[in-house]
Amino acid sequence: MQKRLVSKCPICDNRMDITQLHCKSCDTTLTGRFVPCKFCQLTVEQQEFVEVFLASRGNIKEVERLLGISYPTVRSRLDQIIEALGYRVEYQETDSHRKDVLKALNDGEITAEEAIRLLKK
């Protein structure tokens, strides 16, 4: 079983620094302060979503089918990942968007907090 890099502290949830790298082959060890890649800082769930999204070549309908979630849920998760990577998400407030968010909330696909966040943006 392959271990995953821990990027957030399990105690305080802040970002952890990587301070040592080691090569099993030649026994070389590097010490210092290393920053994990942006994708390593995503949660395991977000990393798995990115993997499905990329394997589907960005086809949201395929992501919906593979994960068994609705379009608003796919968009919501994608927006959360974009924000976690440090980019700003531009939202267009339309009646269709509001209906999608409310339908996802009604279907139990997103939480009330997530619906509020999506409707405020």
Task: Check: pTM over 0.75? Answer yes or no.
Answer: no
Residue 10 structure tokens: 């399990």
pLDDT at 2: 63
- Average pLDDT, integer, range 30-41: 86
- Average pLDDT, integer, range 90-94: 63
Interior/surface letters 63-99, b for 16+ CB within 10 angstroms, e for the rest: bbeebebbebbbbbbbbbbeeeeeeeeeeeeeeebee
**Mean pLDDT, the chain, integer:** 86
DSSP 8: B
- Average pLDDT, integer, range 76-83: 91
Residue 43 pLDDT class (50, 70, 90 cuts): confident
Domain range annotation of the chain: 1-37, 42-120
On whether the CB atoms of residues 41 and 81 are closer than 8 A, the answer is: no
